[in-house]
Structure 1
Amino acid sequence: MSTHPEPTADGYPAGVDWITTPITPAFVRGALDTERTERGLLPHRLPASARAQLPDAQIAMAESQPSGVRLAFRTDATTIELDAIRTRVAYRGAPPRPDGVLDLVVDGRLVGQATVDGGDVLTIDLATGARDTQRGPVGTARFSGLADGVKDVELWLPYNDATELVALRTDAPVEVAPEDGRRVWLHHGSSISHGSNAASPTTTWPALAASLGGVSLVNLGLGGSAMLDQFTARAMRDTPADLLSVKVGINLVNGDVMRLRALGPAVDGFLDTIRDGHPTTPLLVLSPILCPIHEDTPGPSAPDPSTFGSGQVAFMATGDPAERASGKLTLAVVRDELARIVARRRADDPHLHLLDGRELYGASDTEDLPLPDRLHPDAATHRRMGERFAQLAFAPDGPFADR
Structure 2
Amino acid sequence: MNSDHRWITTPLTADLLRGALDLERTERGVLPHRLPARARAQSDDGQLAMAESQPSGVRLVFRTRATVVELDTLPTKRVYAGAPPRPDGVYDLVVDGRLTGQAGASGGDTLTIDMVAGTAEHRAGPIATVRFAGLGGGDKHVELWLPHNETTELIALRTDAPVEPVPDHGRRVWLHHGSSISHGSDAGSPTATWPAVAAALGGVELVNLGLGGSALLDPFTARAMRDTPADLISVKIGINLVNTDVMRLRAFTPAVHGFLDTLRDGHPTTPLLVVSPLHCPIHEDTPGPAAFDTAALATGRLRFRATGDPAERANGKLTLRVIREELARIAERRAADDPHLHFLDGQALYGAADYSELPLPDELHPDAASHRRIGERFAALAFAPDGPFALCPTL
If the length of structure 2 is used for normalisation, what is the TM-score? 0.98
2:14–2:23: 8 Å Cα contact kept in structure 1? yes
Q: Show the counterpart of 1:250.
A: 239
- Give the superposition deviation at 1:117: 2.1
Q: Show the counterpart of 2:115.
A: 126
SS in 2 for 1:373: coil
SS in 1 for 2:352: coil
In structure 1, runs of 5+ residues without a counterpart are 1-11
- Give the superposition deviation at 1:236: 0.4
SS in 1 for 2:373: helix
SS in 2 for 1:333: helix
SS in 2 for 1:118: coil
Q: Deviation per CA, 1:285-321: give whole Å up to 9, x if none.
A: 0000000000000000000111013232100000010
- Give the superposition deviation at 1:55: 3.5
- Give the superposition deviation at 1:177: 1.5
Moved more, 217-226 or 360-369: 360-369
1:101 equivalenced with 2:127 (yes/no): no
Q: Show the counterpart of 2:180.
A: 191
Counterpart-to-counterpart distance in 2, 1:183 and 1:320: 44
Look up the equivalent residue of 1:203 and give its one-letter code: A
Look up the equivalent residue of 1:325 and give its one-letter code: A
Q: Show the counterpart of 1:67.
A: 56
Q: Show the counterpart of 1:8.
A: none
Q: Deviation per CA, 1:210-234: give whole Å up to 9, x if none.
A: 0000000000000000000000000
Q: Show the counterpart of 2:263.
A: 274
Counterpart-to-counterpart distance in 1, 2:244 and 2:274: 20
Look up the equivalent residue of 2:39 and give its one-letter code: A
1:24 equivalenced with 2:13 (yes/no): yes
Q: Show the counterpart of 2:375.
A: 386
Counterpart-to-counterpart distance in 1, 2:110 and 2:44: 22
If the length of structure 1 is used for normalisation, what is the TM-score? 0.96
Q: Show the counterpart of 1:206.
A: 195
Q: Deviation per CA, 1:306-338: give whole Å up to 9, x if none.
A: 101323210000001000011100000000000
- Give the superposition deviation at 1:402: 1.0
1:36 aligns with one of 25, 28, 37: 25
Moved more, 85-94 or 13-22: 13-22
1:395 equivalenced with 2:384 (yes/no): yes
Counterpart-to-counterpart distance in 2, 1:279 and 1:181: 20
Q: Show the counterpart of 1:7.
A: none
Counterpart-to-counterpart distance in 2, 1:177 and 1:86: 26
1:262 equivalenced with 2:268 (yes/no): no
- Give the superposition deviation at 1:14: 5.1
Look up the equivalent residue of 1:200 and give its one-letter code: S
Q: Show the counterpart of 1:3.
A: none
Counterpart-to-counterpart distance in 2, 1:250 and 1:169: 41
Q: Show the counterpart of 1:352.
A: 341
Q: How many residues align?
A: 392
- Give the superposition deviation at 1:175: 1.1
Percent of aligned pairs with the same amino acid? 72
1:286 equivalenced with 2:275 (yes/no): yes
Counterpart-to-counterpart distance in 2, 1:70 and 1:171: 20
- Give the superposition deviation at 1:116: 1.3
2:82–2:300: 8 Å Cα contact kept in structure 1? no
1:178 equivalenced with 2:167 (yes/no): yes
